[in-house]
Amino acid sequence: MRITIMLLACLFLSACDQGAKSPRGFSLPEGDIEQGKTVFENYGCNDCHTVAGEKAASDARYLISHPIPLGGSNGRIKTYGELVTSIINPSHKLTPRRPASFTSEDGVSFMRIINDELTVSELIDLVSYLQPKYKVMPYRTTDYRLYQLRIPEKMAENND
C-alpha cells in the first residue's frame, strides 16, 4: 500500500512539470527562417528590437531610446513556449526593471498586438527565425505526421 501511494505521488508530481515554463508540450511546425526574418522586418519589429547575432543597420532609427535585445541567454525567455507567448501576448512577461518608456501607465507593453494581422504561417516562420537566436531549454518538437483520410465508402468496401 505504501509503495502504491509513493508511486502515485511521483506520478502526480511529474505531471506538474507541464506548465508554460516546462520545455515539454506543443511546438509549431518547422517554418522558413528567411521568411521569418522578412516577417520580422515587415511588421516593424526591428523598430524596437535588435536580434542576437544580427548586425543592425548603421542607419537604424529605433522608436524607443534603447532597443530591446532578442536572443542570446536572455533571462526572460527560457523555453520555447515562453518565446511563442511573448510574440502573441507581449505584456505576458514584462520585467519590472524595464524602463517606463516601454510600457503604458498600467504596465501594458507598447508593442502592438499583431494577432489580428499575423497569419499562422507568418507566426511559424517568425518563431523559426527567432528560436535559434535564443538559448532555450531543449525541447521535444511535436511530430507532425500525415494522417490517412478515412472515407466511409472505402471503409465499407474493405470490410466486405
Residue 151 lies in a domain: no
Confidence of residue 68 (pLDDT cuts 50, 70, 90): confident
| pLDDT band, residue 121 (cuts 50/70/90) | very high
Mean of pLDDT values over 114-125: 89
Percent of the chain with pLDDT over 70: 54
150 CB-contact burial (10 Å; exposed 0-12 / middle 13-18 / buried 19+): exposed
Specify whether the CB–CB gap between 144 and 108 falls below 8 A.
Answer: no
Residue 6 has a pLDDT of: 55
Q: Residue 48: which domain range? A: 29-138
- Would residue 10 count as lying in a domain? no
> Is the pLDDT assigned to residue 94 strictly greater than 70?
no
- Residue 117 belongs to a domain: yes
- Count the helix, strand and coil residues of the chain and give each as a percent rounded to the nearest 5: 40, 5, 55
- What's 102's domain CATH number? 1.10.760.10
- Our count of domains for the chain comes to 1
